[in-house]
Amino acid sequence: MIASGILKIFIPAIAAFAVGILLAPLLTHYLYKYRVWKKTTKKTALDGTAAVEFEKLRTTIHTGTETSTPRMGGILIWATVLIVTMSLWVLAQLVPIPLTQKLDFFSRSQTWVPLFALMAGALVGFVNDILDIHPSGERGIRLRTRLLFVTLISGFIGWWFYVKLGVDSIGVPGDGTLYVGALIVPLFILISIGLYAGGVIDGIDGLAGGVFSTAFMAYAGIAYFQDQINLAAFSATLTGAILAFLWFNIPPARFWMTETGTMGLTLTLAVIAFMTDTPGNGFGIAALPIIAFPLVITVLSNIIQVASKKFRGKKIFRIAPLHHHFEAIGWPAYKVTMRYWIISIMCATVGMTVALLK
């Protein structure tokens, strides 16, 4: 039984990695053929002022990458996950033998909601990226509009958790559960927006891919130990797809993830965290700030920077978010990326422990 569950998790993950590796050259061909990158490099800081430090980084370290590296690499991730998920489901319907039925992890109770989150976020992000590369130089969908979309999508998912799945409490390590009732909906919205804001970690080659793959693999392990095997298989499939993306995103990146990747992934991460909480008799939400610590610190560094400039009249960091600050003080990009990977692995290990406490 244990071996069967492990195979159900690892075979889709390996399949996703293989499919992603095979799809990447095709995607890359079209991204370069149609010049899917920004035509201008206008950049402002979080408070609307000129991004002086960012311009220094762009001209000294990331010279030319803004207008020569394709965007929309996140297509590889969600397309791969969709292909693998639906292919295994169709195969189980057409050839209903024990093996194919065992590998099928597309289920209403565990994978419909995270797959919906992934595809809904990816679609909005895709539209943003299309607008972002327009020759007019417009910067995609305005941030307030993107946040509205995240709020609407996460609001619907939060409602689904509360009304359809009966989730009305969150796990508290050491104390059991905390009843929150309908507040589960705004809580999910808040967490989703926070994780989405952390998506700006997609700013250095290889950084976002390493952080996201580690987080989803951690939740795959958590779901497995909670006996949510379909959810574990879905999380592992996501990990395989992200690792295929990372194969082509390590320096020098063939493409960048951008919104069609980060919006879908952050929404999905929020969903899986909730599904590994009280629905799985665990503490998936409490573990989220630990497992997703690189995303959390990214958001906090932005908040601290803006607040400091507003109330103190000066900056805390050379540039926000934090990973660019490290670049600005002289760390090579590869050093920032690899140290974030190390931190992600350590955080994932601690987070898994917290999520599975009894």
Residue ranges per structural domain of the chain = 2-355
Give the dihedral of Cα atoms 23, 24, 30, 36; nearest 10 deg. 140
Cβ(161)–Cβ(278) below 8 Å: no
Express each pLDDT in 122-162 by its tens digit.
Answer: 999 999 999 988 776 557 899 999 999 999 999 999 999 99
Question: pLDDT confidence of 344, banded at 50, 70, 90?
Answer: very high
Q: What's the chain's length in residues? A: 358
Compute the Cα dihedral for 329, 335, 341, 342 and give only its sign. Answer: negative
Phi–psi pair at 101, nearest 5 degrees: -70, -30
Q: Is 249 exposed, middle or buried (0-12, 13-18, 19+ CB in 10 A)?
A: buried
Say which residues have a Cβ less than 8 Å from residue 16's Cβ, sequence separation at least 6: 80, 81, 84, 236, 237, 238, 239, 240, 241, 244
Express each pLDDT in 50-76 by its tens digit.
Answer: 566 666 665 555 545 666 789 999 999
Cα 73 from Cα 58, distance rounded (Å):
20
Cα 342 from Cα 56, distance rounded (Å):
27
What is the pLDDT, as a whole number, of residue 70?
Answer: 94
Express each pLDDT in 265-313 by its tens digit.
Answer: 999 999 999 999 999 999 999 999 999 999 999 999 999 999 999 999 8
